[in-house]
Amino acid sequence: MFFKACIIEIFLRSQMAESGPPLGTILGNLGVNTVKFCKDFNDFTAELPTYFFLKVKINIMEDRSFSFVVFLPTVGFFLSLLKFTRVVNYSGENFFENCVSLKAVVQLALLKFPFLSIRESFPIICGTVNSAGLLII
């Protein structure tokens, strides 16, 4: 049977890969040792919180060996974790605003774009914050 190398992109929760279906079915049909992949992936993501959904690109070679690349969650995912509601009292009325702190935005810019300066990465994150309807305080 002739087998060509292939690339699979899937989303997995950090530390939560299991060799059963559906992952085991997908990788098992391609001849990959699913138990080894799950152990390697779970070890690789051991220091990340379990609620992170990570995009994983799995490269399967012709000899059924594999390598994988894990991508960080999206900026929108991080913003959903970081946002909070603030009550502002103007002339006796309560206003609820979805907010994110300036410190969190700077840290997110440094995390997502480590090879860019803060002057280059900060406007990118601010654009996403603005699109999400959040206020930076």
How far apart are alpha carbons 52 and 73 in whole angstroms?
7
Beta bridge partners of 11: 55
What is the pLDDT at residue 84?
A: 80
For residue 98, what are its two tokens? 């979805």
Profile the chain (137 residues) by mean pLDDT over runs of 10 residues: 79 92 90 94 93 92 93 89 74 71 92 93 94 88
Residue 121 to residues 17, 39, 52, 109, 113, Cα–Cα distance (Å) = 32, 34, 22, 5, 6
Note the pLDDT of residue 88.
62
Q: Does domain 6-71 sit in CATH 3.40.50.1240?
A: no
CA dist list (Å): 15 to 41, 53, 59, 79:
7, 10, 19, 22
**Domain-by-domain residue ranges, the chain?**
6-71, 75-136
C-alpha pair distances (Å), 51 with each of 14, 30, 46: 7, 28, 12
To the nearest 10°, report the CA torsion of 43, 46, 51, 52: -70
Rounded to whole angstroms, the Cα distance separating 53 from 11 reads 6
Q: pTM here? A: 0.73
pLDDT for residue 94: 61
